[in-house]
Amino acid sequence: MLKDIYGNHVSTSSRAALAKFDQALRQIRTYHGDPIATLDAALEHDPQFALANVTRAMVLAQVTDAMFADEVQRSLRAAAPGAMNDRERGHFAGAMAWAEGRFNESTSIFGRIAQENPRDVLALQNAHVGCFFTGRQFDLRDWPLQTMRAHKHGDESWHAILGMAAFGLEECGDYARAEALGVEAIDAESTDAWAAHAVAHVHEMRGNVEEGVGWLEGTADGWSTDCGFAYHNWWHLGLLHLDRLDHKAALKLYDERVRPKNDANVVLEMLDASAMLWRLHLEGVDTGDRFERLARVWEQKAEDGIYAFNDLHAIMAFLGAGRMGDAERTLKAMRLAAEGKTDNAAMTSEIGLPLAEGFIAFAAGRNVEAVEKIARVRGMAQRFGGSHAQRDVLALTALQAAIRGGMQSTAEAFAAERLAHKPQSPWAQRLSRQAKNASAGARAAAN
Ligand SMILES: [Fe+2]
């Protein structure tokens, strides 16, 4: 039986198909190239290659975009009759679970595959991404750490294990170890977009603005070309510019790197676009017609209701564009999704809906309601996925609502928390002053 680049047995007898599959594994590992096209090429050589079909399904499923649902199902149907060993059957079960909206079960299945087969980097990656989407921070950290035992310096997989461990460590607040492993990963493989990203997160969380800018600009040659994740690393650079209060640089990055094509409908890119514009909007920066241009694309996904984290970001775009009707349309779809049986139903009812209602209240000027709804779930919002840096938009919105609503103590509380985490950030310092001034203003108005 043939083996893949990591040494796992695969159920194909076609060396040509395996060569393409291996190439796809490399692309998936560094987020470069087009793994779907490469998997299609593998399947041309061996249409019965079940794991290639399953992997194709999983790559598309984890985009969390309803427009791929039929294609995911087609790939899974194509995989079903093919020969599979136990490990490959695990992949099939994991992909089926994800496709059916059982995100946690899928994530656990892939995590278990990686425990049993620590050389299965693909399973670990599927588990890792699943942890990210479901807010399983400890598994995000621990599964890569467990897997390190089967990889060593010099293996082509080494950087990927380090990069995943680095991101998991960062999300668990272990910044020093996260940075060390992330830097080592980039030393081993400069194209590893995920490892570069993990270190960017460390700088973001510590508020090390200048170091973060230096890191991303210094590593960009490795991760910025032909990379399906580059827009997100550029988004992180934009966040650091926001911390510097350099709104012009953030907008330039938005236009050139995060959202270069107005009609692009890549949902993960649209999330970052919404998140960047919303932060600028909170700061009162004129973003021109960017919200409207973005809302025109979110419009097509307004009622998908497959992942609450996406829905909230659609709502941000609609609110920023002044499209209250579309925001309400998404809210209605979320209420419907909350009644379902998928994991997203729980994510939506527990976290997504209160946040969506809070953001809509904020846009309508109902600041006290906005603070109440956001603050109530913010501390457990990892349950609907994303990173600390992404969910920071919740704290920023609640803080602005508290300032505008004259909730002096609450505004100062959010601002103090921010400054404690990011003492060097000019933005955090300014928000702290604004919170104090708002309090003074509110006190003066009350007397
Ligand atoms: Fe990130």
Whether the CB-CB separation of 372 and 339 falls below 8 Å is answered with no
Please give the average per-residue pLDDT across 80-85, as a whole number: 95
Strand residues in 263-317 grouped as ranges (E): none
φ and ψ at residue 313, rounded to 5 degrees: -75, -30
Which residues are CB-contacts of 248 (< 8 A; sequence separation ≥ 6)? none
Q: If you measure from the C-alpha of residue 49 to the centroid of ligand 1, how many angstroms do you get, rounded to a whole number?
A: 33
Q: How far apart are CA 291 and CA 297, in angstroms?
A: 10
Whether the CB-CB separation of 168 and 137 falls below 8 Å is answered with yes
What was the pLDDT predicted at 439? 60
pLDDT digit string, tens, across residues 102-127? 999 999 999 999 999 999 999 999 99
* CATH for the 259-405 domain, from 1.20.120, 1.25.40, 1.10.287, 2.40.50: 1.25.40
Coil, strand or helix at 68: helix
Q: If you measure from the C-alpha of residue 306 to the centroid of ligand 1, how many angstroms do you get, rounded to a whole number?
A: 21
pLDDT band at 69; cut points 50, 70, 90: very high
Q: If you measure from the C-alpha of residue 303 to the centroid of ligand 1, how many angstroms do you get, rounded to a whole number?
A: 25
pLDDT digit string, tens, across residues 148-180? 999 999 999 999 999 999 999 999 999 999 999
Q: If you measure from the C-alpha of residue 324 to the centroid of ligand 1, how many angstroms do you get, rounded to a whole number?
A: 28
Q: If you measure from the C-alpha of residue 48 to the centroid of ligand 1, how many angstroms do you get, rounded to a whole number?
A: 36
What was the pLDDT predicted at 1? 85
Report whether pLDDT(332) > 70: yes
Residue 156 DSSP one-character state: T
Q: If you measure from the C-alpha of residue 232 to the centroid of ligand 1, how many angstroms do you get, rounded to a whole number?
A: 6
Tokens 């309090």 belong to 439
Whether the CB-CB separation of 121 and 141 falls below 8 Å is answered with no
Please give the average per-residue pLDDT across 190-215, as a whole number: 97
In percent, the amount of the chain with pLDDT more than 70 equals 98
Q: What is the residue-averaged pLDDT of the chain?
A: 96
Q: How far apart are CA 350 and CA 371, in angstroms?
A: 16
How far apart are the two ends of the chain, measured CA to CA in Å? Answer: 82
* Ion ligand 1 neighbours, Cβ < 5 Å: 387
pLDDT band at 444; cut points 50, 70, 90: low
pLDDT band at 447; cut points 50, 70, 90: very low
Closest Cα partner for 203 from 4, 424, 399, 439?
Answer: 424
pLDDT digit string, tens, across residues 208-267? 999 999 999 999 999 999 998 999 999 999 999 999 999 999 999 999 999 999 999 999
Ramachandran bin of 245, using left for φ above 0, alpha for ψ from -120 to 50, beta for the remaining angles: left
Q: If you measure from the C-alpha of residue 322 to the centroid of ligand 1, how many angstroms do you get, rounded to a whole number?
A: 27
Residue 12 tokens read as 């194909």
Residue 384 DSSP one-character state: G
Task: Give the burial string for 104-141 (b: 16+ CB within 10 Å, else e).
Answer: bbbbbbbbebbeebbbbbbbbbbbbbbbbbbbbbebbb
Tokens 């998936």 belong to 28
Report whether pLDDT(446) > 80: no
